[in-house]
Amino acid sequence: MSGLLRSAAQRTLRKVLPTVSRLGSSGVYGSTSVVNRRLSPALPSTSRFVTTSSFYIEPPEEMLFPDEDMEKGIWYDLNWSLNRSSITPTGRSFRNLKLKDLEAKGGMSKLYDPAVLPFTQQLENDIFSYLSNSEVLYVQDCALGALSTNEIPVRIITDSPAAAAMFAKLCCPTRKIKLSDYREDVTVYLASETNLGPFLSVDKPNRKILMGGTIKANELVKKMARSSVNAFLARNILPLWGSMENNTLYMAHPGPHVGGFSGFSFSSSGFCRLLNAEVQTDGSIVPMPKQPNAMSLPKSIVMFAHDDTGAIPAATKLTPDQAGFYYITACAPRSLSQYVEAASLMMEFAKVCDVYMVNSGAFVNEDDIETTARAIVGKTGGSADALGLKPIPVTCKTKSPSSEQVDTVSIALNHMVCAATTLRFHV
């Protein structure tokens, strides 16, 4: 025998030889033989033995899924859809129940002021776990936008039928989308019972709103407005949150909330409301009268900036280019990131209605902001100032900025535009 073969033969072989003696529904039975051999006199002496041991393999665990019955909350497509929304339901789940059925079930309907908590992964995990282990979940899939061409889908997942009912009355119905294809742009997770007291927290990058112990609508709408702005703009829709009075749209933050707070949207497909109800300052909602989904364009819009130096005048009427420029630099929500789309849509909007800007930071007395916003509609400005704006004279006391402050604000605004967009404005 060659040295190579002898070297191979000198290895001790261990062979495991399973023999299945019986296969049945209750398991698998058999035996295993283990053989050890000395293959060469050159190896140290070893014992020769054969051992046999029986084995048993447990059958796979069997689980019977209950028959699907959507009326009883057993709906597998909905469970998979909830799983995509980070919830794994262990109880029953209902989707888009009728208002009368939700209201009949009652549930938490407290309008406590929520504490705004910083978003943390632990907080999210706690809310997800709470909802996943709830006996019953209520899901309402709705829309921000009365026109199907101007809407984004939104969803609430809650253990409170009263909260689901509030959300259904607040938002617009969405167009019919196959459940397996449904993907919401904003998700609200509302837990009726928490040990944190009433709270609200937002995961801004993922557009998730966490709430607990309250269904105060005004706080929820504020967060939805900021969370949804880029989702709207990605669809070439300009969201305009605020209130309407005498065919003038007063944008929010910190505009006057005349007769309730609502929202509207503008696109090439038309102009429409974003909500089906007006939100009151106490957190309640008042359903709007039934009206067509599409609305006539407002005659005017008043935007609000906040420049504490007063370099931006207290009130001015804007050209379309100025409207686009000042919207993205001074008046848009801080969560805005789709600058080109926002400026372009505002410029188009300003071609079909008059756009005014009020600088709330220029007023000495805050009470004068609302009065001025109403008073300037229909007026025009005088000579252009250092920023190229034509201020509208106001009767109240305002700040007088220095030339250095005006220069600083002008440079800052232009730097913001250069960093955010390649658009060219004639302002």
CA 153 from chain centre, in angstroms, equals: 10
Q: Is the bond leading into 254 cis (omega within 30 degrees of zero)? A: yes
Distance CA 167, CA 171 (A): 6
Distance CA 116, CA 171 (A): 22
| pLDDT tens digits, one per residue of 265-312 | 999 999 999 999 988 888 899 988 888 999 999 999 999 998 889 999
pLDDT of residue 20: 39
pLDDT band with cut points at 50, 70 and 90 for residue 15: very low
CA torsion angle 413 414 418 421 (round to 10): 60
pLDDT of residue 7: 45
Q: What is the pTM of this model?
A: 0.79
Burial of 55 (0-12, 13-18, 19+ CB in 10 A): exposed
pLDDT of residue 108: 77
- Angstrom CA distances, 36 to 13, 15, 41, 251, 340, stand at 7, 8, 15, 87, 77
Rg (CA), the chain: 33
Q: Cβ distance 315 to 395 under 8 Å?
A: no
Domain ranges in the chain?
3-57, 70-233, 236-420
Mean pLDDT score across all residues of the chain: 84
CA 320 from chain centre, in angstroms, equals: 30
Least confident of 63-72, 188-197, 245-254: 63-72
pLDDT band with cut points at 50, 70 and 90 for residue 12: very low
| Side chain identity at residue 112, one-letter code | Y
Least confident of 209-213, 326-330, 371-375, 382-386: 382-386
Reply yes or no on whether the pLDDT at 24 is more than 50: no
Q: Cβ distance 260 to 287 under 8 Å?
A: no
Homologous superfamily, domain 70-233: Phosphoenolpyruvate Carboxykinase, domain 1 (3.40.449.10)
